[in-house]
Amino acid sequence: MEDKEGTTQQTGISRRQLVAGFGGIALGAAFAAPIVQMFILPDDVIAFAASEGYLLVDRKKCQGCNTCMMACSLAHHGVQSLSLARIQVTQDPFAAFPNDRQIDQCRQCPGAPCVSVCPTGANHIDAGNGNVRTIDRRKCIGCQACVAACPFNLSRAIWNGDEKHAQKCDLCADTPFWDKPVGEQACRAVCPTGAISFTEEIPIQTDAGYEVNLRGENWAALGFPID
Amino acid sequence: MNGYQGQILHLDLTRREYSAIDTEKYIDWGGGHGLGSAVFWDLCKDKDLANMRGIDPENVVTLMTSPLSGTLVPSASGRVEVQGIGYQQYPVNWFTRSNFGGRFGGQLKYAGWDGIVVEGKADTPTWVEITDGEVAFRDAGDLWGKDTQDTQKAIWDVQSEELLGLHGWTELGGRDTGRSSQRSAIVTIGPAGENLSAFGCLIHDAGNASGQCGFGAVFGSKNLKAISVLGTGSISIADPGALLQARLAAKELYAQQPDAPLSEAGVLGVGFGAPPKPSLFCPPPPGASGPQSCQGCINGCRARWESAIANESSCQETGCYVVFDVIAHGQPTDASIQATDLVQRYGVNSYETEGCLKYLLSLNMKGLLGAGKAINTSLNMDRLGEVDFIKDFLDMVAYRKDIGEDLAEGTVRASIKWGRYEEDSADGSLGFPYWGMVEHGYDSRAEIEWGYGSIVGDRDINEHCFNWLMWESFVSIGMTGAPSFSAEEFAKIATDKMAPYAGDMKMLDYGTPNLYSEHIAKLVAWHRHYSRFWKQSALYCDFRYPDFINFHRGDKIGLSGQMEHEFWNAVTGGDMTWEKGIEIGRRIWNLDNAIWTLQGRHRDMAKFAKYVYLHPAEEWHMGSFYPMPVQDEAGQWQYANVMGRNLDEAGVEEWKTLFYKLEGWDAQTGWPTRATLEALELPEVADKLESVQKLGAA
């Protein structure tokens, strides 16, 4: 994982910084929820509970139709927008396959830097929804620290310029405009080619992305590679 | 407004100014073609339409989206309808249409616009840059001369320098304005359009083209090199939950499921139920590939390649050079896909290319064309089928070199100039049956609705509504010995959807005795009306709709007539029905005929090239078998081979009379009548036609 701070491998704020930042030991009940998620270890190390869900995308199977992006904005915001989508597909029409397409979905980072930097706890671990890293828009003050903290170049925490708050993939924990089946995600449900999958296990990942091959013999029958 | 953004961008290239047209004023026309025809009428009805050519500065070009553009309505999100006076058609540059897919329409909607109207002429090469609500007229001096690929790359390079990047996101302006991860969507011309070649087309990304009718030359005549758009906004949706559920239902019930084996019921894979397999007519480029589609497609028809050659190309443009490749090499080689890449880069109409090359070959074989021949050219016909040949040919037609100077006015006009037209259009060696446009591959003598629809309109129709069913039958009979669906199923399932004429199965009886009947008049009328609204205004893609027959359904009945209006209403909150859309299409079709009438249209002009009447059709590019449903005198349906016949000229004229009467037009002239126009709430159109003595008699 790219480490922009150049400090320790494990991201997270220290207990000392947390205490200093909140002006003392007398933490109010309002901050109890994020605190419960932190397991306080030695001074300079804090760990978050791992997410119980991750989206995987096989870019070689993606057809670049952006339906996942449109489904995301529709389910969460009731409008059609690529800018509000919490999964982003970018393409270069003239580039060589498979480098002509890139899918940037939130990796639900174990170290959750976007959660760590949030001053209000808006960006938090949601224990009621499989520890998904998600943003409570009511608490967001718009500092965009989470956007900056995301270790990936296209930040996965994104700024909603219409509603003036940050937002990120919540694995469809909260979809006000979609009466969804339990455990489903809008992007995965609509994807025409089945290029998006969901796993409960932390995936193997590299700087290039999660390693996932979702192509089988029926895909090969269409003339596409399955390696 | 839901679905719509409420404003259409009006560009005045002469003054380098822009303004907004209120979409609400045109909302009854639906979108796409309806908007374009209505806006064109308002802006041009008092111009000298009888003498206007596509390259005249008075021409107005429109690029229109629909309320479905940029939404996840399946295979209805990606297309943009282009209209204006074209530059390809003969003898008149008709008010005409083309369209292109990709992602331009969605970006335009996200930028806050329902469409673009282009008026005037810039004094120097210009590129229009749309960034949300801001529009800039930029100098295209450095872009002029570049091919379509290099132009887009150059614009992206400029924009990546100029637009602020924030953590990978492009930020347009300040903190609280929009952000995007996307590169701008660009529609551009190449050298063919710049040099006012009738072969010139519009290209967007790698493989989306507004190919026919010479809109590349129209852009070039306005010194308009390209339009780029980047949008960060949103489209309001009336019932988001219903829209998402409808998309999921359509996928579950009618689409090829991911990772499922292909349906054994159907063999070809067209229509809504097709798999995401690229539709190629030639050997693919070398190496691996992955699927690629227009925005929002239910399953795409293209790919991008490891070699990056001919990315996003499919169908016709991959087939435009195959015949010649095979002539030269005995089998198709990579010359075909190289030719595809070249026509995209040059921004050249691949249909006109193929038709023109066939004609040049016939002239060469007659000893009339070549070095030192009556039609003198340095084009080395011995190299036909090679990559260097197609490059030489494209150079000629794009840069007006050698015989390209004549061909750049269109192959038919070149034939006239060479003194060959009378003979070659009579013997069929000039395979251009109507309006100076090449035969599409579906001979009018066989597939009658294609031919009739073309001559009563403005161009080769390019609407595959019934044609897909022929293809499926052709391939299934060839591969398995039996058709995927019977002739009676073909006729019944499709005609059941053809409101208001549903119930008349003889609309799809392609037998020779039926060719000049009122049944066929109803077929053609329905086809015009349906296409004008559902395909060209709502912008449901021709490659996936109508979904008459679907092999994922036990009864083979597809989603058309059931879901298109459901999607429309979920987006707009309207009360659209299948039938209402078809009726709006009839209204649009009537307005188009009024425009053609102002251009000097008369029924006598609506005719086929002589060869259609004189000679039986012998072969199409798949051979001599062309199966269409036919009903015999005992009432039995079967597939018959409808190759081997010509059309009877007198019969065609009788059919035209039936058609015009059915449409409520003056059968003597083909002009709309006051009664018809007023019933369609177009009294001002009747007034205008009457003022120039072109109103049809009752």
Q: Express each pLDDT in B408-442 by its tens digit.
A: 999 999 999 999 999 999 999 999 999 999 999 99
Residue where the block lists tokens 């309002």: A30
- Given CB atoms, is A193 within the 8 Å cutoff of chain B? yes
Query: Residue B312: closest CA among chain A residues belongs to which residue?
Result: A93
DSSP B580-605: HHHHHHHHHHHHHHHHHHHTT--GGG
Q: Do B289 and A96 touch (CB under 8 A)?
A: no
The pLDDT assigned to A17 comes to 44
What confidence score (pLDDT) does residue B175 get? 67
B315: left (phi over 0), alpha (psi -120 to 50) or beta: left
R_g of chain B, CA atoms, integer Å: 24
**How close is the nearest chain B Cα to the Cα of A27, in Å?**
32
- Report d(CA B120, CA B179) in Å as an integer: 32
Contact between B685 and B597 under an 8 Å Cβ cutoff? The reply is no
Q: In angstroms, rounded to a whole number, what is the distance separating the alpha carbons of residues B152 and A196?
A: 30
Instruction: Tell me if A178 and B244 make a contact (CB, 8 A cut-off).
Output: yes
Residues 111-170 of A with CB under 8 A from B: 147-148, 150, 152-155, 158-159, 161-162, 164
Residues of A in contact with B175 (CB under 8 A): 161
* Residue A30 banded pLDDT, cuts 50, 70, 90: very low
What pLDDT is attached to residue B698? 84
Three-state SS across B420-454? Answer: CHHHHHHHCCCCCCECCECCCCCCCCCCHHHHHHH
Residues on chain A touching B261 (C-beta within 8 angstroms): 218, 221
pLDDT grade, residue A13 (50/70/90)? very low
Tokens of A153: 């170049």
Q: Which residues of B24-61 are buried (b: 16+ CB within 10 A; e: fewer)?
A: eebbebbbbbbbbbbbbbebbbeeebeebebbbebbbb
The residues near B693 (Cβ < 8 Å, ≥ 6 apart) are none
Mutate to test the interface with B, among A60, A97, A144 (most CBs of B within 10 A): A97
Which residues on chain A are in Cβ contact (under 8 Å) with B235? 79-81
Residues of A in contact with B277 (CB under 8 A): 222-223
The neighbouring-strand residues paired with B180 are B170
Q: Is A186 on the interface with B (CB under 8 A)?
A: yes
Which helix or strand (DSSP H or E) is residue B631 part of?
A: strand B627-631
Chain B residues in contact with A83 (beta carbon < 8 A): 110, 178-181, 232-234
pLDDT above 70 for A8: no
Measure the CA–CA gap between B368 and B375, rounded to whole angstroms.
6
DSSP lists the bridge partners of residue A171 as none
Q: pLDDT value at position A43?
A: 56
CA distance B270 to B487: 18
* Residue with the two structure tokens 């019933």: B679
Q: Which residues of B touch A158 (CB under 8 A)?
A: 169, 179
Where in chain B do CATH 1.10.569.10 domains reside?
270-427
pLDDT given for residue B266 in this prediction: 77
- Residue in chain A nearest B78 by alpha carbon: A65
Q: Does A179 touch chain B (CB under 8 A)?
A: yes
Residue B373: Cβ-neighbour burial (10 angstroms; 0-12, 13-18, 19+):
middle
Nearest by Cα to A109 from A99, A117, A97:
A117
Query: Cβ of B181 and A191 within 8 Å?
Result: no
Token pair listed for B395: 């150079």
Q: Write down the pLDDT at residue B430.
A: 98
User: Chains A and B: how many Cβ contacts under 8 Å?
Assistant: 210
CB A51 within 8 A of CB A108: yes
- Listed in sequence order, the residues at least 6 apart from B67 whose beta carbon sits closer than 8 Å to its beta carbon are B2, B3, B4, B31, B538, B568, B571, B572
List the one residue out of B367, B395, B366 whose CA is nearest residue B379: B395
Cα–Cα dist A217/B337, whole Å: 27
pLDDT value for A37: 47
ipTM confidence: 0.97
Determine whether the interchain pair A83/B303 forms a contact, defined as Cβ–Cβ distance below 8 Å.
no
Q: Using a CB–CB cutoff of 8 Å, tell me whether A87 touches chain B.
A: no
Nearest CA in chain B to A79: B236
Question: What's the token pair of residue B191?
Answer: 């050298």
Residue A216 to residue B259, Cβ atoms within 8 A: yes
Task: Say whether A161 and B178 touch across the interface (CB within 8 A).
Answer: yes
Where chain B has pLDDT below 50, the residues are: none
Q: Which ranges of chain A would DSSP assign to H, the alpha helix?
A: 15-21, 32-37, 67-77, 113-117, 145-149, 186-190, 217-220
Cβ–Cβ of B300/A191 closer than 8 Å? no
Longest dimension (CA), chain A: 64
Q: pLDDT band for position A29 (50/70/90)?
A: very low
AA letter at B93: N
Instruction: Please give the share of chain A, as a percent, with pLDDT higher than 70.
Output: 79
Strands (E), chain A: 38-40, 46-48, 54-57, 79-80, 87-91, 101-105, 123-126, 132-135, 158-160, 165-167, 196-199, 205-206, 209-210
Put simply, whether B172 touches A (Cβ < 8 Å) is no
Partners of residue A214 in chain B, C-beta under 8 Å: 259
Class of domain B270-427: mainly alpha
Interstrand relation of B126-131 and B224-230 (parallel, antiparallel or unpaired): parallel
Burial class (CB in 10 A: 0-12, 13-18, 19+), B306: middle
For residue range A67-99, what is the model confidence (pLDDT) as tens digits? 999 999 999 999 999 999 999 999 999 999 999
Residue of A nearest to B176 (CA): A161
Interface test with A, best of B66, B160, B167, B277 (most A CBs within 10 A): B167
Interface contact B176-A161, CB threshold 8 A: yes
- CATH number of B7-230, picked from 3.40.640.10, 3.90.1150.10, 3.60.9.10, 3.40.50.300: 3.60.9.10
Decide if B430 contacts B424 (C-beta within 8 A).
yes
Backbone angles phi, psi at B12, to 5 degrees: -105, 100
What's the pLDDT at A46?
Answer: 63
A50 touches B at CB < 8 Å: no
Cα dist. B154→A216, B205, B220 in Å?
Answer: 39, 13, 18
Average pLDDT, chain A: 84
Give the gyration radius of chain A's Cα atoms: 18
Q: Where are the alpha helices (DSSP H) in B213-334?
A: 215-221, 240-254, 316-319, 322-329
Judged by CB atoms within 8 Å, which residues 203-222 of A form the interface with B? 214, 216, 218-219, 221-222
Is B244 in contact with A80 (Cβ distance < 8 A)?
Answer: no
- Which positions in chain A touch B304 (Cβ < 8 Å)? 93, 95-97, 100-101
Q: Where would I find the beta strands (DSSP E) of B266-424?
A: 289-292, 302-305, 369-370, 375-376
CATH of domain B448-544+577-691: 1.10.599
* Closest residue on chain B to A155 (Cα): B167
CB contact under 8 A, B234 and A186: no
Which one of A73, A93, A98 has the shortest CB-CB distance to B311? A93
DSSP annotation of B165 reads E
Backbone angles phi, psi at A174, to 5 degrees: -130, 105
Q: Mind listing the pLDDT tens digit for each residue in A134-162? A: 999 999 999 999 999 999 989 999 999 88
A38-40 vs B202-204, strand pairing mode: unpaired
Q: What angle do CA B165, B169, B171 make, to 5 degrees?
A: 60
What pLDDT shows up at residue A162? 87
> Are the C-beta atoms of B671 and B689 separated by less than 8 Å?
yes
Residues with Cβ within 8 Å of A71's Cβ and at least 6 positions away in sequence, in order, are A186, A187, A189, A190, B72, B244, B247
Contacts of A190 in chain B (CB under 8 A): 72, 244, 247-248, 251
Contacts of B149 in chain A (CB under 8 A): 94
Dihedral sign computed on CA atoms, order B412, B418, B421, B425: negative
Cβ-defined contact of A80 to B237 (cutoff 8 Å): yes
| Three-state DSSP state, B529 | helix
Interface check A64 vs B, CB under 8 A: yes
State the burial class of residue B330 (Cβ atoms within 10 Å of its Cβ: 0-12, 13-18, 19+): exposed
Nearest to A97 among B233, B258, B288 (CB): B288
A99 chain-B contacts, CB cut-off 8 A: none
B284 contacts chain A (CB < 8 A)? yes
> Does any CB of chain A come closer than 8 Å to the CB of residue B83?
no
> What is the mean pLDDT of the segment spanning A171-175?
97
CA angle B131, B134, B135 (to 5 degrees): 90
Neighbouring-strand partners of residue B290: B304
Whether pLDDT at A38 is above 90: no
